Every structure is written in C-alpha cells, then in structure tokens.
Amino acid sequence: MTSSARKSPAREFLRSVETVVGGKTLGLHEPVFAGNEQKYVSECIESGMVSSVGSFVGRFESGLADFVGSPTAVAAVNGTSALHLALVAVGVKPGDEVIVPALSFVATASAVALAGAVPHFVDVSDETWGIDPDNLKTYLETKFRSDGGRLVNGDTDRPVTAIVPMHTLGHPCDAAGIREVANQFGLVLVEDAAESLGSYVDDVHTGLAGHAGVFSFNGNKTITTGGGGAIVSTDTDLAHRMRHLSTTAKIPHPFEFNHDAVGYNYRMPGINAALGLAQLEQLPQILEQQRALYLRYREVLDGIGFGTLRQENPGTRSNYWLQAFVLDSGSRVVRDDLIAACLESGISVRPLWKPLNTLSPYAGCPSAETPVANDLYSRVVCLPSSASLAGA
C-alpha cells in the first residue's frame, strides 16, 4: 500500500469498488430482466386479467412455494403489507408488544404499528446481525413476567405476543434458536425474510422456522415483481386465512358481496406476478451471480487494511443480496468519507439503516440497550450489488 493510499482510505476504497463496477453510474441493486419478463407481462395484458384474478398470481405463488420448500405461499402487494397481514393473521392485537430487532429496515417496525401493536426493540448479534437467542432469553427472563399464561412487560403491563426476527442483508439469523425461545415463552414467530430469498441454514430456507415468513419483491430485491411481497407458511390453515384476509375477507359467492372480517386489499396484481414469474425462473442463475459478485469484491477488498467484506456464517448459505464492507472499529470515522467519495463518482453506496429505536416515530417505544446495532450502523457500507455486476 502506498503512502498516499494510507492517507486516503476513501480514495483506495473508491478505486477498489470501481474495479468491480467498471466505472458505471448505477444504483445500489438494479434488477436484471433477461428472461420471459416481456413475454409474460404482455400475455397478462392481452388476457385483460391484470388485477388479482387470472393465472399469473397462482403460478407465481406455486413457483415460490416450491423454491422455498413451503406447502403454500400468499402473494401480496408489497413486503410491508405482507408482514402486517401475517401479524394480524397470527393473532397480534392492538396494544400488544412485539419483539423487533433494532437493526432492520423501518418496515419491520411499521408493520407492527399498522397492526396497532407496539414494537419492543432488542439488540442483534455481532455474528449474525440478527436477534441473538441467548441474549433474548436472558432479556425476557429479566424484563418480563408471566401473567395467566401470557408474557407481560413488567414496565408497561402490556402483553408481549410475537417476535419478528430479520435476516439482515440476506444473511440468515439463528431463527431456530429464536424459535426455541419463542416456544419457551409462548410467543408467535413471524420471520421478516424480506431480504433473504435464496438463503439457507443448512438445507432449510429462511422463512420456515416459525408460523410464517415474509419476503419482499421490491425493485431492489434479489428478484422483483416491481412492487410485491409474499408470505410462506407450513400451516395451511393459517395460509388460507391470510389469503382470505388479503382479498378483503370476501366470502366466495357468485354475486353477493359478503365479508366476514375486517380484511385488506393486499392481493398481488397479476401483472406484477407475471413479471415475478419470469424472474423466479432465473433465480438460481441470479443467486450464482450474486455469489460470484461477492468473490469479485472479496478479491479487490482483501487486505485493504481498514475493513473486511461481510461473508456468510458457518452452517448458512447467504443469497448475498447486498454486499457489505465492515470497517474496523478504529476506522469507523471514515465511513462517511467512503460513502461521499463513491456517491460523488456516481456509485450508489449506503450505510446500514439507523437503529429503529433512534427514529422519531419509535423513540418512545420500549427498548433494550442496543450497542451492537449502534456499532454496526457506524461501521458498515453497503456496496452496489446488482447481479449484472458479476460479469462487469
């Protein structure tokens, strides 16, 4: 390393990233349309069934369920709505508290709030970047009490009914360990697997550890439906209820409009599902490209001297949705310099999300101490991660 490079981590970092992205001006995770997208969307338009009726929604759900290894999937308009729907369907009530990691995209907390419940934030593991089951168990034993078979927050007297772990940047958290804690304390487990399509613990896909798992197909996800989400569940009765609620809770009838619950207009439109079906066909190739991109970044960033590239944990297989550079503790002060240098060169990078318990809508919500979430926020830079870069 030259003396000038040592004096300018931002310049060295920019040069390394440019080696991978090829000097392109590009977004953080641009979609790749290289299959039957135009064909299927055109077929959907020609059929006139561009809303939730027609064949494409069912075909997309079936393909997704098969890929994940779930008996069923319920497609929704976006990941946030899917998570809200799942929470309502599993029985989360207004006034309940729901355990949420402080390190997550805001939608994790927003879905809880949409259900009328209160997010209760906990810290994450510095190994998985998701909820640590051992720390969670200790926290629940310390801060909560059992009251008539329910877990109750000793400070607020509100019931705690669910846990929503999240798989950060596609790297699986210890969902099986969290499930054990959830079972011990009588809590429902809903996985926020929005970022982890194609990620596994051993041979088990994310999203299957609890009562339900939620994926996102936003434009920047591993595959996209433009905007969309889906819920998977091994409980077919629960899946049936979620599908029913997603279609305004309308009772099937040849002509009457009769509804048996407060429902939601959350069903994915067919035109989005058509796009998603074409994307789903390419998913294995996209995952290979994401892994190849990780290896390219690792090659250019290895030995850079002030940080390392995030890699998958033992026993897991990550989809590497977003590549992440982790600054050494002593180099966190240059995070913003690295980001600014890349942005000025037209390369989209970003930090991790601000910890949710620091955001103004949730600052008054109950929270554990979150030193790991705060630390990771200060040291991580997310890199351009489109699968198209694997061959740049």
Take residue 186 and report the two structure tokens written for it: 């009588």
Task: Evaluate whether the domain defined by 3-29+283-391 bears CATH number 3.30.1360.170.
Answer: no
Half-sphere exposure of 378 (CA within 13 A, CB side): 12
pLDDT at 3: 42
pLDDT tens by residue, 9-22 = 999 999 999 999 98
Take residue 362 and report the two structure tokens written for it: 């949730």
Helix (H) / strand (E) element for 299: namely helix 283-301
Please give the single-letter amino acid code of residue 38.
Q
Buried b (16+ CB within 10 A) or exposed e, 180-214: ebbeebebbbbbbbbbbbbbbbeeebbbbbbbbbb
User: What is the domain partition of the chain in residue ranges?
Assistant: 3-29+283-391, 37-281
pLDDT tens by residue, 271-306 = 999 999 999 999 999 999 999 999 999 999 998 999
Round to whole Å and give the CA distance between 368 and 337.
31
Q: Is the pLDDT confidence value at 165 over 50?
A: yes
pTM equals 0.95
pLDDT tens by residue, 91-129 = 999 999 999 999 999 999 999 999 999 999 999 999 999
Q: Which residues contact 266 (CB under 8 A, 6 or more apart)?
A: 76, 77, 81, 82, 84, 85, 245, 246, 247
Round to whole Å and give the CA distance between 351 and 282.
29
pLDDT at 25: 65
Domain 37-281: give its CATH architecture.
3-Layer(aba) Sandwich (3.40)
Round to whole Å and give the CA distance between 250 and 343.
48
pLDDT band at 392 (very low <50, low <70, confident <90, very high): low
Give the DSSP letter string of 205-247.
Answer: ETT-SSSEEEEE--TTSSS--SS-EEEEES-HHHHHHHHHHHB
pLDDT tens by residue, 33-91 = 999 999 999 999 999 988 888 899 999 999 999 999 999 999 999 999 999 999 999 99
Interior angle at CA 168, CA 122 and CA 313, nearest 5: 105
